[in-house]
A and B are shown apart, each in its own frame.
Chain A
């Protein structure tokens, strides 16, 4: 899932500025599960902002701040985004607590409004333990995990080496950050455990990094548009 971290309050304050009314929209997907952008966080951010506006009444030109609070099931799906039709009429801006995907979908839906990100999506990752997440995939478009013992060197090696390790692998750790295990060491160990070290002798060909932006068509999932 996508892992995100809340933006600093400084950023959010700047987004709100002297506006009288804004909306905060949460997402019931990844950011609820890795809890930074669910209904709870929407309510908390709204309360903090109201308090801030109250405190800054003078600098904000005695503008009271009204906030619309909403959380939709997933901000990356048109059906759910469309359910917001007609909402936020007198809002001057929207703060989305979804990942960048959601923020953009929201911005497309409300082109006349400024839409700001309330969180920074940092990576696609796993929960290691509650509150600790680690990147596990970069969406490179050509998965090689089958050849690397079920461990992704693209996301987990600081240099995304396809034929590692580099000379900076030290006692199982990465030279870039000693807290990071060297994924190539892990790959080696797993292959050894499987008795398949020979597979590592094969040189991995250069990947095609050129496909950006990603666009995915799955023909079998497409639904014909109804004539209207």
Chain B
């Protein structure tokens, strides 16, 4: 995302509200560089553990891999990083600026603003009405989707930057907003979320037993008991409605029926959550709307009417229209209402802040500034149906704008990149199909017993395998037009037919469908091609490091083994070699097709006695042709090595599987090299 070589971005990055560097952290995971990956995530996103679990994942919707098979599990990979509990404290700057900033609401919007402002060097105080921070993540989103300890991990990271949190203070009730300025705060960020449940506006709504879903969540999260009864109806079709239904089952309901006025396709919820709800036995009454709630002293019957879909409305979804005479009833003990919520705004309108006709705080979408100077707002308080990542984005944007405001500068907001176009259809059949790595889930029986997390997380190995599916969109090869000789080599060698040389341009152009296999980079006779990916150096640094680890006291022979990172058989091999006690070092490369023969020569030049290339089996190459190119170059190099009088045994191609055989061959090579001695002493 911050790579100056990249103008059009991977759609996963462009789609995200904070432009999280999805591709880049996924690529780092693919290379086993978990700490750097997490650092990258955390540098933009103060809620990695939470986003990794409940984010609405616009990135995955936009992922170009979908056209081949399935999108990359970007969020799960983020969760994987967050769950590793890597201890990577953030650099806390000294208090640089004198101004104090007040933040109202300790939800994701408020905390994100505090996080960024603290990192800029401001002192922030968050005022929170409830006793716990976290906002809706704490009192809304149920624990089986977002465990408290994961949320706390995120929150504590921000608080550890020196952000002050004052809980149990409701601005407007306990403390008027104007007093904040009197107390010396120079700017205020209003991040109060939307906590007033919307009403159904039908008869019987006020009967005991009709409760807003939000109230149910809040009671449960503060540990209060709730009598739910046997049969529960839930009104609504979004994530909140699903959460309410699934929560009801977890606190004792036998039957949970969800009543939604549109059809399955229109449900504004996450696919995964809906599937899990179905597995758990939630009943769906689709194309149905409540018309009346009946009962003597408490709710007993829910009367609904069937709907059909008419023309699209302003939201673009088809408008539901009641079908006359189609009423039906459901016998119920409780009705949970989950049709939305709005912010409580009285205090703020009284304080001279403009409120929109939709009952939201009016803001400048770029800077989050309200109509009152020095007051900014964001999150659910300014957005209908907001999400976690939007709240984070607003918090971050507000932080920048507040900084500019306090410094008297014009706010400069980061440019939103435009997404790369889709993979062209002719490419799809050339890309190897590899299904997504599934995350295991808790079995349904044990799910319903408590609020244990349903999705169980990735192991290192699964995470790496999943990350390797990423096509590295937009970070592939690029041609230096000054060097290109229009020789057509790249056009001819690319397994995906990406490079083109047109009569008009007269130099090779490599478009966004490049898969980063690196074959053309090695083959280009003019050395005109490089990979834009800043994490990809085709083994150079790894070789450098490996060579440095040979110390003078180390005995001989010394062997460098190039390993294909994509081959599961190579996984863990590098440790095995390290621990073997011999002077064998591993250089991991993401596909042996990226290895430049020069690198092998360099290893010899730097004094190693032997080089091994361990590649996957021909059919396993993720780039289809990487393996065969590597082999061809290797065979060619063997001829050269022989021509300069070096012993053939010094350069070997071993399959890494089966491992015992690989290690045996390596052992044999060590023996032979012992006899041969060093390259230079020979004459």
List residues of chain A with CB under 8 Å of any chain B CB: 8-10, 13, 28-29, 32-35, 38-41, 43-44, 47-48, 50-52, 54-59, 71, 127, 130
- What is the bound-complex CA distance between A10 and B487, given in angstroms? 28
- What is the bound-complex CA distance between A220 and B321, given in angstroms? 82
- List 10 contacting pairs A-B, 8 Å CB cutoff, sorted by A: A8-B643, A9-B643, A9-B644, A40-B527, A54-B679, A54-B680, A55-B644, A55-B682, A57-B683, A130-B489
Binary contact readout B487-499 vs A (1 if CB under 8 angstroms, 0 otherwise)? 1110011000000
Q: Are B646 and A32 within 8 A (Cβ)?
A: no
* Chain A residue contacts of B643, Cβ below 8 A: 8-10, 48
**B604 on the A face (CB < 8 A):** yes
Q: Are B489 and A35 within 8 A (Cβ)?
A: yes
Q: Are A38 and B525 within 8 A (Cβ)?
A: yes
Chain A: minimal CB distance from B74 (Å)? 37
**B254 on the A face (CB < 8 A):** no
**B450 on the A face (CB < 8 A):** no
- What is the bound-complex CA distance between A210 and B69, given in angstroms? 67
* Chain B residue contacts of A10, Cβ below 8 A: 643
With both beta carbons as reference points, the residue of chain A lying nearest to B601 in the complex is identified as: A47
List residues of chain B with CB under 8 Å of any chain A CB: 483, 485-489, 492-493, 523-527, 597-598, 601-602, 604-605, 640, 643-646, 679-680, 682-683
With both beta carbons as reference points, the residue of chain B lying nearest to A26 in the complex is identified as: B525
Chain B: minimal CB distance from A75 (Å)? 13
Decide: A54 near B526, CB < 8 A? Known: A33-B486, A47-B598, A48-B640. Answer: no
With both beta carbons as reference points, the residue of chain B lying nearest to A40 in the complex is identified as: B525
* Chain A residue contacts of B525, Cβ below 8 A: 32-33, 35, 38-41
With both beta carbons as reference points, the residue of chain B lying nearest to A27 in the complex is identified as: B485
* Beyond known contacts A40-B523, A58-B683: 5 more, CB 8 A cutoff: A9-B643, A28-B526, A33-B525, A35-B525, A44-B601
* Chain B residue contacts of A32, Cβ below 8 A: 485, 487, 525-526
Complex partner residue of B645 from A35, A55, A57, A127, CB under 8 angstroms: A55
B contacts with A: majority SS? loop
Greatest chain B CB density within 10 A among A28, A43, A51 is at: A51
* Chain A residue contacts of B485, Cβ below 8 A: 28-29, 32-33, 38
Greatest chain A CB density within 10 A among B485, B487, B643 is at: B485
* Chain B residue contacts of A130, Cβ below 8 A: 488-489, 492-493
* Chain A residue contacts of B527, Cβ below 8 A: 38-40, 43
Chain A: minimal CB distance from B291 (Å)? 73
* Chain A residue contacts of B644, Cβ below 8 A: 9, 13, 48, 51-52, 55
Q: Are A48 and B526 within 8 A (Cβ)?
A: no
8 closest A-B pairs by beta carbon, nearest first, are: A38-B525, A35-B525, A9-B643, A47-B601, A58-B683, A33-B487, A52-B644, A39-B527
* Chain A residue contacts of B679, Cβ below 8 A: 51, 54-55
- What is the bound-complex CA distance between A28 and B682, given in angstroms? 37
- What is the bound-complex CA distance between A32 and B602, given in angstroms? 23
- What is the bound-complex CA distance between A64 and B487, given in angstroms? 35
- What is the bound-complex CA distance between A10 and B643, given in angstroms? 7
* Chain A residue contacts of B605, Cβ below 8 A: 47, 50-51, 54
Q: Are A51 and B526 within 8 A (Cβ)?
A: no
Greatest chain B CB density within 10 A among A13, A48, A50, A71 is at: A48
* Chain B residue contacts of A44, Cβ below 8 A: 597-598, 601
* Chain A residue contacts of B526, Cβ below 8 A: 28, 32, 38-40, 71
